[in-house]
Amino acid sequence: MVEDHDRCYRAVRSRDARFDGVFYTGVRTTGIYCRPSCPARTPHQHNVEFFPSAAAAQEAGFRACRRCRPDTTPGSPEWNLRADAVARAMRLIGDGLVEREGVDGLASRLGFSTRHVNRMLTAELGAGPLALARSRRSQAARVLIETTDMAMADIAFAAGFASIRQFNDSIRTVYGLTPTEMRGRRGGKTSGRLAIRLAVRRPFDPDGLLTFLGDRAIAGVEHVEGRVYARILRLPNGLGAVRLTLHDDRVEAELELADLRDTAVAVERCRRLLDLDADPVAIGDVLAADPLLAPSVAEVPGIRLPGQVDGFEVVVRAIVGQQVSVAGARTILGRFAAAYGTPATFDLAAEHGLTHAFATAEAMADADDTALSMPRSRAQALIGVARSVAAGELDLEPGADRDATHKALLGHRGIGPWTADYVVMRAFGHPDVMLETDLIIKRMLDRYGVDAARTATWQPWRSYAALHLWRLASTPKETA
């Protein structure tokens, strides 16, 4: 996209919000970079250059526009769509891996040398992993400076900076302001409860998303009421609680964390749970071309793929859900959370009756297969997977190799294609899983004579096609 200068400029000239987060516009005459939909006067084409990431624009010496706030855009949908090493790296950087394990840790997860990872990211994104992580930290810090009353030292700590000096220098470089100037004259105070606004790429279907999550909500772990979703989070440095209020054009997130260093990770996982970085227009354009899906796409143009905040939890859900109703699975999962989960005491959680974080793989690995309230074969499959995850043999992190994980899951006794496909679809937000072995989807495909050649035309959005098929199967009026 960035190499096509004319196409990028057309998007800027039309202020096309679909490209927000996909590329960034640097204006040489002002030294600032913007999102494509910036409302300011469109600069002359010969005065602009385009960047594939905010970090690349910052590395080139541009500072963020204060009017369009390019750092508040949704993330690029490309990183969920692609499965190559660069996309895996971006998902891991987004999950805060560089802050926790450094570039060496990132390279180790990807299976490459540190030099090769730097070379790959710089070649495609115009910035290496350290610069990308620094840009992410600056964005997280800006949100906290402008939307909370936290003290600056706490913000630096929460955003992942190693020192106050590094925090001050980064904010000044990226935004052209000191942290104090950015906040103005408001006083600061330490608080473990944060309110953050999450950007959404429209159109957005919050009601369908909440219906899906609410039908599967695990008692004590998560709760849905109206347009509010609340749950306990398990994060790298401790537990947390979140309340997400979904609107048609944004999501308001309220967080209460045991450790403020988990702020950016918690936000990223909430975005992944709600699939906020999806490109609904691109998805709709492909799926609406099929007469079976077109009515559903027209009615719900912003359908989202429900993601997760814990990959292991998705595996447990998938195994428990084999040949069991959604309500029955909820009951079993609630028992698991109470018996093997971690107690959580947050005021925000208590407001919604939440008491536990879901069980860890380590806790489930030690479970007795006769005490799991499910057929023994499935209990043994669940314990086997838990042991693999606990031992590091099964990778469910955001940057995992999807194909390798899918193959590893199928290698476990008691896990078939449906379970493996469902895990890859939800745990990794994979946009192109068809789920042909799902009974409802299979029935719909057979009923309307949809063959493999036709479903191939739905690529690369077959996961969203599956959501539409589930929806069509549950509505009284189905349209061929």
CA distance 462 to 157: 41
The reported pLDDT for the residue numbered 178 is 93
* Parallel, antiparallel or unpaired: strands 63-64 and 193-199: unpaired
Secondary-structure percent of the chain, ordered helix, strand, coil, rounded to 5: 50, 10, 40
Is 438 one of the annotated active-site residues of the chain? yes
Domain 78-147+149-188 has CATH 1.10.10.60: yes
Span 311-325, mean pLDDT?
94
Contacts for 201 with CB less than 8 Å, ≥ 6 apart: 17, 18, 20, 21, 74, 77, 276, 277, 278, 279, 280
Q: Which residue has the tokens 């000239």?
A: 13
**pLDDT tens per residue across span 234-262:** 999 999 999 999 999 999 999 999 988 89
The reported pLDDT for the residue numbered 187 is 47
The reported pLDDT for the residue numbered 45 is 95
| Sheet-wide strand order for 238-246 | 193-199, 250-257, 238-246, 228-235, 222-225
Catalytic residue among 8, 20, 34, 275: 34
Q: Is the dihedral of CA 256, 252, 150, 272 positive or negative?
A: positive
Q: Are 36 and 25 in contact (CB under 8 A)?
A: yes
Which residue has better confidence, 145 or 50?
A: 50
**pLDDT tens per residue across span 134-176:** 999 998 898 788 877 788 998 998 888 989 999 999 999 999 8
**pLDDT tens per residue across span 267-300:** 999 999 999 999 999 999 999 999 999 999 999 9
* Parallel, antiparallel or unpaired: strands 250-257 and 238-246: antiparallel
**pLDDT tens per residue across span 392-424:** 999 999 999 999 999 999 999 999 999 999 999
The reported pLDDT for the residue numbered 192 is 56
SS3 sequence of 275-330: CCCCCHHHHHHHHCCCCCCHHHHHHCCCCCCCCCCCHHHHHHHHHHCCCCCHHHHH
DSSP string, 139-183: HHHHHHHHH----HHHHHHHHT-SSHHHHHHHHHHHHSS-HHHHH
Say if residue 480's pLDDT is above 50. no
Give the pair of three-digit tokens for residue 93.
């950087």
Say if residue 476's pLDDT is above 80. no
The reported pLDDT for the residue numbered 477 is 53
Instruction: Give the lowest-confidence range in 171-185, 194-208, 425-439.
Output: 171-185
Domain 5-72 fold: DNA Methylphosphotriester Repair Domain (3.40.10)
The reported pLDDT for the residue numbered 1 is 59
What residue ranges do the domains of the chain occupy?
5-72, 78-147+149-188, 264-427
The Cα-based distances of 422 to 45, 66, 306, 435 in angstroms read: 46, 41, 11, 7
CATH label, 264-427, candidates 3.40.630.30, 3.30.70.1290, 3.30.70.2190, 1.10.340.30: 1.10.340.30
Say if residue 317's pLDDT is above 60. yes
The reported pLDDT for the residue numbered 395 is 96
Say if residue 184's pLDDT is above 90. no
Q: Which helix (H) or strand (E) holds 12?
A: helix 5-13
Span 11-39, mean pLDDT?
94
Catalytic residue among 95, 275, 279, 438: 438
Span 320-337, mean pLDDT?
94
